[in-house]
Structure 1
Amino acid sequence: MFGCVGAVCLAFTFVFLWNEEVTAASAVFAMGFFAFFYSNLARFKRFKGLGFEAELWEDKQKEAADLIERLKSVVTVYTREIVMNSVLRGRLGGSDSWQKRWDLFNELQGRHGELGQQIDFSGLRHDVESAFLFDMCSPLVASVRRSIESSKTELLRDARKRFGSSITDIEGWNRFHEEVRSVGIVEDNLFERAKTRNIAQETVATAQTFKEWLRERFSVDLVFTPGVLERLSKIAEVARQRPIAITPKLIEWADDRSV
């Protein structure tokens, strides 16, 4: 079985090299090498060559087991490199859908299971989920931000009329300007915040706060793009229950850039 896995990995290595995906090719080659190594380990009691002699499996069983354990950590690094390369390539204009990315993650995880490697991929899954949530939220957050910033622009334009072209109440103008400026969407590194915080929930809360502030302060009823806050609320609920149960609807939302 391990020989077959090694052959498949070797085939994928050539495919990746043909497509000039050096990182992926290196990772798959490493996994193929380990598979071939493992498949032949139990065949020999002694091995001699390249100027050295070593006993395998019987007298060196513990050393071999330790080596395999160390190889697991190497494979984990390569697996992470392959998966995150697929995920982050989408940030740079890649065309892969999220279905393909999740299929890749599940396939690699399954292959390791077939090899009997009990590797904890929870950290990797968390990072993939964070990117997944970011892709679902990013266009929605941008839509909410546009609505809020448009309303703030109108407020400042109306305020200039009220304060006059030649502002005499400088203190009042500055106070009003600061009040308007302080309300809005936090823009600092949404991608990083998605790793540790519920960005969908935060965006909904900010949108509702601004809407209430606008209504109470100026009797203006702000209407956001239809469906945006509803979808963000659903994503917020999903994000509260990690690990996420991946569904076709969530994948559709993550691939959607039409908002």
Structure 2
Amino acid sequence: MRKGMTRICSLAACVAMALSLSACGDKATDEPEYADETAMSVIAEGFEKRSDKIDELVAKNEDTSTTKNRRLYVQTELDNDKPLKDARFKDSQMQEDVISYINKLEDTMTLLKTSSPNSDDFASQWSSIYDERSKLLKKFVDDYGLTVGEQYQDSLDELLVNGADVAENDAIDEAIRGLVSGVTFEKTDDGYGSFTYSAVIQNTTNYDFSDVGILLALYDAQGVKVEETYANTSSWRRGESVRFEAFSSTDAATMKPSVDYYDVAD
């Protein structure tokens, strides 16, 4: 009887093990496929295909700046990269960046389909998309190890230089706007219906600014904007505190400052 029990127990153990292995196999099969490891290779392939298409046009002595040809090489890259938009990623930031890049390609196609190159705003929109694409490619290289074939490196480097400039300009813009956005301007009644609005602001950024203009929106007690006035300075060095003053005949209940213009000092 003891041998029979031992045999039964052994069979039960084998069945349990088989079920366990089967469950593990199902789990491995059900494991979703992630694009993290291949995404940059896909982006690189799309970049290279776009470059190849441009080279083909140049070899035929065709103008690569026509709407028709621009649509041709942008669509080539988009067709290659678009499947990544629906792919799964473990790294949510990478996914967001990849989708943003594909969105820029789609924005380019929309611009080419809906706007004439001769329209007033086409050049600025094209340039804006170019800048954002450059910045994302710079991030792909720095954060995710994007590489391209040697013959495409010069084209990529040109975009990376622009992307670095765009990123730096964005950082500067964010820095100065951060200085001003939360500042409270104090109101002084100068008499005879005149008011001075002033605030002392320290430049805590790593940048020196010149010709800075702050737009001060003035609102009444009902929250209605009554007037806009300006406070400015010709120089604002890092670490320096500057008193910004604006003048108005409006007795404002609230004030909202924002940066209207500025230059970065040499």
Larger helix proportion of the pair: 1
Q: TM-score, with normalisation over the residues of structure 2?
A: 0.28
Query: Which structure's relative contact order is higher, taking Cα pairs within 8 Å and 6+ residues apart?
Result: 1
Q: Which has the larger radius of gyration?
A: 2
Larger strand proportion of the pair: 2
Q: TM-score, with normalisation over the residues of structure 1?
A: 0.29
